[in-house]
Chain A
Amino acid sequence: MAKTAIIYSFNSNKTAKAGEKISKFYGEDKLEVVNAEDITEEQFLSYDQLILGVPTWFDGELPNYWDEFVPALEDIGMKGKKVAIYGLADQLGYPENFADGIGIMANLLKSRGAEIIGYTANDKYTFEASAALDGDRFVGLVLDQENQARLSNKRIENWVNDLKKHFK
């Protein structure tokens, strides 16, 4: 059976809470929960299937813990790995860089050979630009706890159901 992990920052608040819900829907016994703050290359490569919690910080940046891991990711091969990305973003506060973190991470891992799964529809969001868009779809799950908290549970549930179809 493919080895699966969900990786997010244990220091985070909303990203961690969303991660816990995703784990619950996915089945806590079917994945390992890993702290993004001290992830290593070896650890990262030890999984076949990854769910990454990647919020967007400031005006369209990765959070520092992921950003500091980027030089490692730039040199590793991800061929054969399946990666799904979720992230917290704020469409009213940061409409010009809505969920950019998801897009930055997806592009990086794709360039290393990973298969990105868990695309979602750009539905009921209002923003100006997003690096997470591939055509008219997001390359991951976008959660907006600032402005659309009531939609999050359903979005997570639908997304996890979709992941289950792709993950082994």
Chain B
Amino acid sequence: MTTVPDVYSIKTTPKETLVDWFRLLTIGRAIDDKAPNYLKQAIGWSYHAPSAGHDAIQLAIGQIFEKEVDHLFPYYRDLMTVLSAGLTAEEIILNGISKATDIASGGRHMSNHFAKIEWNIHNVSSLTGNHTLHAVGAARGIKYYGKKAVSISSQGESSVSEGYVYEAINGASNEKLPVIFVLQDNGYGISVPKADQTANRKVANNFTGFKNLRIIHCNGKDVFESMNAMTEAKKHVIEAGEPVIVQANCIRMRSHSNSDRHELYRSEAERNYVLEYDPIAKFERMLKRYKRLTEEEIDQLKEEAKNTIKQAHKAALKAPDPDPESYKDFVLPEPYLPVKYTDGTHTDEGEKKKLITALNETLKAEFRHNPDTFIWGQDMANKDKGGIFNVSKGLQQEFGEERVFNAPIAEDYIVGTANGMSRFDDKIRIVVEGAEFADYFWPAMEQYVECSHDYWRTNGKFTPNVTIRLASGGYIGGGMYHSQTIEGSLTSIPGVRIVYPSFADDAAGLLRTSIRSKGVTMFMEPKALYNDPKAATVIPDDFEVPFGKARTRREGKDLFIITYGNTTHMCLEAADMLSKDGVECEVLDLRSLIPLDKEAILEGVKKIGKVLIVHEDKVHSGFGAELSAMIMEEAFEDLDGPVHRVGSTFTPVGFNRIFEKRILPNAEKICDSAKEILVY
């Protein structure tokens, strides 16, 4: 039972509406029942999570969704939801059998992951409930731009066991965002019963202590209760300006998916029990009982549904398969291309500025340049404090609390809502401080991975436009969680640009390019250099650095040193030391790791023949391993000796400075390694 107004009832709902609903329910169930046959016939749809038993609440979600106005984040069981929201049977089948014309992803994403981005029906990943954060982010956009709309996050009740779902609901409650969280409760997370998830049987009741949050319970098996609940939820969100949780009690009439066998863990009695409450059978009985539709009318609608599916099936089978060679499309969107500083260098002279000043001034310049730019993070803005290291100092004062604001201490929320707000409008550009320190970023990794494949997964239809800033690296005596750098882990994940400047001008230029580009850029800041005079440079006001352009910091002929970040300065220092012995090193500062300036690397190898790779991250599986392997494969003939690598040891970075000195690379270690190569 709900405590919401009865807007819809069997006796008063207009007949044409009831006909529409019955048609949708019949078509949706028929597709849902037919889906496993595609797998049996080896056509596709190898992942199918049946919607049977969730039909009523899913119908209601789709019905209250207004395309191109609201934002809908369906989960993998939401076949009926998207049909009700307007997708055609053919579009659903095209997704099921992964055709090139699948509007969700062109066959790139799993089946049963329905989307139509043009309508704001978003493509979500398989990670259960992680789109909750995106829905909250999109709602932040709705609120900021003053739209009368809602963002709907639809998910199973078990997804609420994920920590990020709590982060999302907490954030929506705190920011008073227009979100409806629909928890479709069928009692199971695959085979895990509710009792093993949380103490409350109705998980929504875990949130009764949250402020600015209304909770509505409904019978998700009943069309009218579901419609009334969702109608009230939308009305409340828009009128009261606060989020709503709708917990819809559903049943799972089938197994979790076609890789699950529920007879292994559900008794026959239970399976029969849920079948008895088939929501569509109930709706049909009520239509007849209250004489709203005749038997003949119902039979006719069922016949129409059969024909609709038959035609959709035929059309979908004729659709083209994806071209395997298209795999390389949409890994990264086109970047912003600098016009004036095409190679990312300049010859300006004048006053030198520190790296931290470069970042601060570039942020301010970009916020002035583009009014649709936002920044948030932990410690972002509180009076005179602006960022943990004051990189964002003064931004809130100039640009206001709606564009520059603190985030809760929840890294995944920071990145996930950035992804979500990007979905509101392509013109938006977001900068986040991903974590206080780079090695606090790990809780956000699931959203980082999500961001990395959004562009590919959606067949180029959506990319988060986000620059993730991370204060990285050691040499500050910070110890664990304050002194690691993490690019070695990140560079193995395709779909994100990774830049790592070591001088103030490059920091400014790369930050400008990152913010202006589409896509995700991981902007790693060597925090030990923020205020270090040796990283200070002259910076042209409009300086830009393109991605994938390395910069030669010192010319040489005897040894080619490839580096980036903190160690650029150590390599230059080592080069000075070696120069005293008559050895002239060339130092190449990569600046961008992804994309990589292979041309500059291979040219240097060819020119000099002896190569040393230096970075602060661990040698073991560090980015240097990839560089070394690439050089071996593509320039072996040009080498005059083995490629050596210098980096940190395969240990954490210790807190005591004695440990830090032993573990992290420095100029002496670089010299030692250089001498070993030079003897060849």
Mask: chain B, 198-239; 1 = CB below 8 Å from A; 0 = not: 001110010000000000000100100000000000000000
The answer to whether B282 touches A59, judged by C-beta atoms less than 8 angstroms apart, is: no
Q: A64-B276, A96-B200 are in contact. Are A59 and B249 (CB under 8 A)?
A: yes
The answer to whether B200 touches A71, judged by C-beta atoms less than 8 angstroms apart, is: no
Mask: chain A, 54-68; 1 = CB below 8 Å from B; 0 = not: 000111110010011
Which A residues lie within 8 Å of B498 (CB)? none
Q: A68-B282, A71-B11, A71-B290 are in contact. Are A61 and B249 (CB under 8 A)?
A: yes
Contact among A58, A68, A96 for B286, CB-based, below 8 A: A68
Question: What is the bound-complex CA distance between A15 and B277, given in angstroms?
Answer: 17
Question: What is the bound-complex CA distance between A94 and B205, given in angstroms?
Answer: 15
The answer to whether A59 touches B11, judged by C-beta atoms less than 8 angstroms apart, is: no
| B9 proximal to A (CB < 8 A) | yes
| A104 proximal to B (CB < 8 A) | yes
A89 to chain B, nearest CB (A): 14
Residue of B nearest to A58 (CB): B249
| A97 proximal to B (CB < 8 A) | yes
Contact among A57, A59, A61, A72 for B201, CB-based, below 8 A: A59
Question: What is the bound-complex CA distance between A11 and B251, given in angstroms?
Answer: 20
The answer to whether B9 touches A57, judged by C-beta atoms less than 8 angstroms apart, is: no
Contact among B1, B222, B277, B282 for A104, CB-based, below 8 A: B1
A129 to chain B, nearest CB (A): 10
Residue of B nearest to A104 (CB): B1
The answer to whether A67 touches B201, judged by C-beta atoms less than 8 angstroms apart, is: no
Residue of A nearest to B285 (CB): A68
B548 to chain A, nearest CB (A): 56
Q: A59-B202, A64-B277 are in contact. Are A71 and B10 (CB under 8 A)?
A: yes
Residues of B in contact with A, size category: 20 to 34
B202 to chain A, nearest CB (A): 6
Please give the number of chain A residues whose Cβ is less than 8 angstroms from any Cβ of chain B in the complex.
Answer: 16
The answer to whether B222 touches A67, judged by C-beta atoms less than 8 angstroms apart, is: yes
Mask: chain A, 6-30; 1 = CB below 8 Å from B; 0 = not: 0000010000000000000000000
| B289 proximal to A (CB < 8 A) | yes
Mark out the residues of chain B between 74 and 89 whose CB falls within 8 Å of any chain A CB in the assembled complex.
none
Which A residues lie within 8 Å of B289 (CB)? 68
Question: What is the bound-complex CA distance between A61 and B11, given in angstroms?
Answer: 21
Residue of A nearest to B195 (CB): A93
Mark out the residues of chain A between 61 and 88 whose CB falls within 8 Å of any chain B CB in the assembled complex.
61, 64, 67-68, 71-72, 75
Residue of A nearest to B11 (CB): A71
The answer to whether A97 touches B201, judged by C-beta atoms less than 8 angstroms apart, is: yes
B158 to chain A, nearest CB (A): 15
The answer to whether A96 touches B202, judged by C-beta atoms less than 8 angstroms apart, is: yes
Question: What is the bound-complex CA distance between A68 and B202, given in angstroms?
Answer: 23
Contact among A57, A60, A94, A97 for B277, CB-based, below 8 A: A57
B157 to chain A, nearest CB (A): 11
Question: What is the bound-complex CA distance between A88 and B276, given in angstroms?
Answer: 17
Which A residues lie within 8 Å of B185 (CB)? 59
Residue of A nearest to B278 (CB): A64
A25 to chain B, nearest CB (A): 27
Mark out the residues of chain B between 537 and 561 whose CB falls within 8 Å of any chain A CB in the assembled complex.
none
A22 to chain B, nearest CB (A): 23
Mask: chain B, 273-299; 1 = CB below 8 Å from A; 0 = not: 000110000100110011000000000
Which A residues lie within 8 Å of B286 (CB)? 68, 71
A135 to chain B, nearest CB (A): 20
Question: What is the bound-complex CA distance between A59 and B222, given in angstroms?
Answer: 14
A153 to chain B, nearest CB (A): 23
A119 to chain B, nearest CB (A): 21
Which B residues lie within 8 Å of A67 (CB)? 219, 222, 282
Q: A64-B282, A68-B289, A71-B9 are in contact. Are A58 and B251 (CB under 8 A)?
A: yes
A58-B249, A60-B1, A96-B202 given; name 20 further pairs at CB < 8 Å. A11-B276, A57-B277, A58-B277, A59-B201, A59-B249, A61-B219, A61-B249, A64-B282, A67-B282, A68-B285, A68-B286, A71-B9, A71-B10, A71-B290, A72-B290, A75-B11, A96-B200, A96-B201, A96-B205, A97-B201
- 23 A-B pairs with C-beta separation under 8 A: A58-B249, A59-B185, A59-B201, A59-B202, A59-B249, A60-B1, A61-B1, A61-B219, A61-B249, A64-B276, A67-B222, A67-B282, A68-B282, A68-B285, A71-B9, A71-B10, A71-B11, A71-B286, A71-B290, A75-B11, A96-B200, A96-B202, A96-B205
**Can you list the 7 inter-chain pairs with the closest CB atoms, starting with the nearest?**
A71-B10, A64-B277, A96-B201, A64-B282, A59-B249, A68-B286, A59-B201
